Chain A
C-alpha cells in the first residue's frame, strides 16, 4: 500500500487470490505486464481513452516517427523494449538510462516557448501527457495536448 504505488501510493483494489494473481502474471515478475501492474485495468483503459481523445489527430502516434531508425528499440543489456517505456514510463535496468537517454533528456519544460521540435520530444510529450492524465492534472494535460497539436499541424519544415 504505502508509497509509489505506493507509485502514487494508493491502495489499488488488487485481487490477490492465487488464481487472479497468476492470471495477471504477478507471481512471475518476468512475465509481468507493466501497464497492468501500474495502471490496474479499468484505470489504464480510461487513461488510454482520454489520451486518444486528447491526441485526436496524430493517429499513428508512437509507431515510427522519421529518424527512428538510428534509435535502439531494445536495451542491449536487458532487452527491455523502448516501446514499453513509452507506454509505462518504466525502465528495465540501470543501463537503460544510457541507452534511452534521448527519450527523457528532452523532457522537462512543458510550458517553455520554442519548438524543441522533433520526434523525440513528441514521444516524451506523449509520455508526459499520459502521466498528467493519470495524475488527473488536466491543466498540464491540456497544455501538453496543445503542444502536441502544434507539432502535428506544422510538421517539420
Chain B
C-alpha cells in the first residue's frame, strides 16, 4: 500500500522447479529431502542476490520463529509446517524468498506492491537461476515443460498472482459475474482470507494459469492487463455507488463502523468484513483522520486485518472466545485513540 493503488494489495510471482529422479516434497522421505537440499542449496548460494542471504533450516526453527516469519509473509503456511530437510533462504532485502522442499523442490517468490517491480525482480531472478543451474537435471518434458507435483501446473514454471481488495464489486453484488469472467479469461481466483468455505474481507487472490513453455512474457503481460481492467472496474463501481446508491453505501459503512466502535465480541469474519468497509470509507473520504493521512490509516487497518488473521490461524478454535473479546477491545481502543469524524453525508 502507501504508494500502491487503492485496490492492489500485493503482486507475487512464483517460480518453481523440481529435480529429476526425486519424489516431490509431499511424497518424499527425509533422505531424499536432504539430497534435494544438497543439490539445490549450492545453486541458490551461487546467485548474486543471495550471497549474503539468510539461510534457515525449518527443523531448527521454534514455533515462535515460524509464526514471526509467517506474519511477515516470508513463509507459506505450507512451508511453516515443514520440518527436517526443508530450507528457506531470504534475500538480504527480503524482496524474494527461496523455499527448498515446499510443495515443489525449489520455489521462489518475488513480491512487491507494484506488478512491474515484481516482474523485473522475477526476470532478474530467472536469469540468475538459469545461469546458476546449468548442470542441474530439472524434471522437464519437451512437451509439458517443467514438471510439477500438480500436473495441471506443469508448464513454464512460473505463476503470476495479485491480491486485490474489491469491496465495491462485492457491495454491488458483482463478484459472481467477476468469477465467471475470470474463468473465461483463464485466470483463477479465490478468497485470500478464507473462513470455512467462504471468503471474508472482500479480498481475493487472482492467479494466471501456467502456460506452455516460452509463453512466459505473453502470460505476464496478459495477466497484467486483466488485472488492470479489474482494478479499473472496481474503481468505476465505487464511483457508481457514490453517485447512484449513496444511501446503501453509507448504510453499509455506518453499520461496519458501529460494529467496530461498539461491539464487545467480534468474530474474525465480522472484523475482516467491517475493516474492509472502513478502509473503503477512508479511501472514499467518508471518514477523516487528521492529522493522519488516509494512506497511513489504510496501511494500519490492513496490517490489523493481517495480524488478526495470523493470530486466529495460530490460536485455533479453543481460543476463539478469548480472541473475539480481544479483537473487539483492540478495535474500540484503536478507534478512540485516533481522532476521526464522518463527512456530512452521515448527518
For B27, give its contact among A2, A42, A78, A89 (CB under 8 Å): A78
Q: Which residues of A contact B20 (CB under 8 A)?
A: 94
Smallest CB–CB gap between B312 and chain A, Å? Answer: 7
Which residues in window 289-346 of B have CB below 8 A to A?
309, 312-317
**What is the bound-complex CA distance between A111 and B280, given in angstroms?**
41
Q: Report the Cα distance A12→B28, complex, angstroms.
A: 23
* In the complex, chain A residues 58-113 whose Cβ is within 8 Å of any chain B Cβ: 78, 80, 89-95, 97, 104
Q: Bound state CA distance, A133 and B76, in angstroms?
A: 24
* A6 interface hit (Cβ, 8 Å): yes
Pair A16/B151 contact, Cβ less than 8 Å: no
> Could you mark each residue 125-166 of chain B with 1 if its beta carbon is under 8 Å from any beta carbon of chain A, else 0?
000000000000001010010010111111000010100000
Q: Does B194 contact A (CB under 8 A)?
A: yes
A12, B149: Cβ atoms under 8 Å? no
Asked if A53 is at the interface (CB within 8 A of a chain B CB), the reply is: no
Q: Using C-beta atoms within 8 Å of the partner chain, give the interface range for chain B.
A: 35 or more
- Interface of B, secondary structure class, is mixed
Is the CB of B26 closer than 8 A to any CB of chain A?
A: yes
The answer to the question of B67 belonging to the interface, with a C-beta cut-off of 8 Å to chain A, is yes
**Cβ of A48 under 8 Å from chain B:** no
Complex interface residues of chain B between 41 and 91 (CB less than 8 A to chain A):
63, 66-67, 70, 73, 76-78, 80-83
User: What's the least CB distance linking B174 to chain A, in Å?
Assistant: 16
A1-17 residues at the B interface, CB under 8 angstroms: 1-17
Q: How far is the CB of B220 from the nearest CB of chain A, in Å?
A: 15
Known contacts A2-B73, A94-B147; A15/B313 CB under 8 A = yes
Contact between chains at A13 and B151 (CB < 8 Å): no
Question: Which of the residues A34, A131, A139 comes within 8 Å of B183, measured between beta carbons?
Answer: A139
CB distance A14 to B77 under 8 Å? yes
Min distance, Cβ A153 to any Cβ of chain B, angstroms: 27
- CB-CB under 8 A from B199, the residues of chain A are 10
B38 to chain A, nearest CB (A): 17
Q: Does B173 contact A (CB under 8 A)?
A: no
Known contacts A4-B159, A42-B196, A140-B183; 12 additional CB pairs below 8 A are A2-B109, A3-B205, A10-B192, A12-B77, A15-B314, A15-B316, A17-B314, A29-B82, A78-B23, A92-B27, A93-B22, A93-B24
Nearest chain B CB to A84's CB is how many angstroms away?
9
Q: Which of B27, B188, B194, B314 is the most central at the interface, judged by chain A CB atoms within 10 Å of its CB?
A: B27
Main secondary structure on A side of the interface with B: loop
* Given A1-B77, A8-B188, A13-B195, A92-B23 contact (CB < 8 Å): yes
Chain B residues positioned under 8 Å from A4 (CB to CB) = 14, 103, 150, 153, 159, 207
Say whether, besides A2-B12, A78-B23, A7 and B150 are in contact (CB < 8 Å).
yes
Question: Could you say which residues of chain A place their CB within 8 Å of the CB of B21?
Answer: 93-95
Known: A42-B197, A97-B147. A9 touches B161 (CB 8 A): yes
Measured CA separation A43–B194 after assembly (Å) = 11
28 A-B pairs with C-beta separation under 8 A: A2-B111, A4-B14, A7-B150, A8-B188, A8-B190, A9-B192, A10-B192, A11-B77, A11-B194, A11-B313, A13-B195, A13-B196, A13-B312, A14-B77, A14-B81, A16-B63, A27-B81, A28-B83, A29-B33, A34-B26, A42-B197, A78-B27, A90-B24, A90-B27, A92-B24, A93-B22, A97-B151, A136-B179
